[in-house]
Amino acid sequence: MAKQSKRVQEAQAGVDRSKVYEVTEALNLIKNLPAAKFDETVDIVVRLGIDPRKSDQLVRGAVSLPKGLGKTVKVIVFAEGEKADAARAAGADEVGSGDLADKIAGGWMDFDVCIASPDMMRHVGKLGKVLGPQGKMPSPKSGTVTPNVAQAVEEFKAGKVEFRTDAGGNVHAGLGKRSFPVEDLEENLNAFLHHLNGMRPPVVKGQFLRKISISTSMGPGAWIQYGA
């Protein structure tokens, strides 16, 4: 096993993994741990009280973070005609239809979000095995299959984040950059958790948001408590 760097050792020693922190305290803590040489993303992981083997308990969606993500989001759009023009005007990085599908099928994946007009799903549907594992397959639930592609482009460029449950029943998302003020990170965190908590599947009983951890990209996680 590779030896951990001094920075990693110091960061891990700075977090009490047996403690559940107040949100503000946890954000101040992870921001003040020894830093990497780049502006890390602040990430959140939420363990949901669901059975991920059951399709009616899976959660997928998107939420606009009020303080944005602090990074440039590359957005591509499947659209033609006026919708394609509107998507370009809204700031889409790439717009196309069959040609764009061929490009992706050929191995091009240099984008963060894929948006599609409903009439373009005949092209997008063929890319399920490519986009699905990357978490980039457009879906009505996440607002990435929509007739208003221009609005979707603007929202994702401004800081809208997609999320979906993984095989273990966890949801992962970015909340912004380490350089953000604590107040901005906390506002984004509260917006994300409030939205996620409202997506509880009707069949799920008991506690929905079971465990919540926040961390920087290269740092240890701190457990937090959240009052919905």
The fold for domain 75-157 equals Rossmann fold (3.40.50)
The answer on pLDDT for 1 being more than 50 is no
pLDDT in tens, 7-61: 778 778 888 889 999 999 999 999 998 888 999 999 999 999 999 999 999 999 9
Domain ranges of the chain: 17-68+161-224, 75-157
Kindly report the average pLDDT of the chain as a whole number: 93
pLDDT greater than 70 at residue 82: yes
Task: Using the predicted structure, report yes or no on whether residue 208 has a pLDDT greater than 90.
Answer: yes
What is 17-68+161-224's CATH number? 3.30.190.20
pLDDT of residue 8: 74
Q: Are 164 and 59 in contact (CB under 8 A)?
A: yes
Residue 39 corresponds to which tokens in the numbers above? Answer: 């502006």
User: Tokens 């959140």 label which residue?
Assistant: 44
Question: Confidence class of residue 228 from pLDDT cuts 50, 70 and 90?
Answer: low
d(CA 135, CA 1): 30
pLDDT of residue 2: 52
Burial class of residue 133 (count of CB atoms within 10 Å of its CB; 0-12, 13-18, 19+): exposed
Q: pLDDT, tens digit, for every residue of 117-155?
A: 999 999 999 999 999 988 899 999 889 999 999 999 999
pTM of the model: 0.82
pLDDT of residue 15: 87
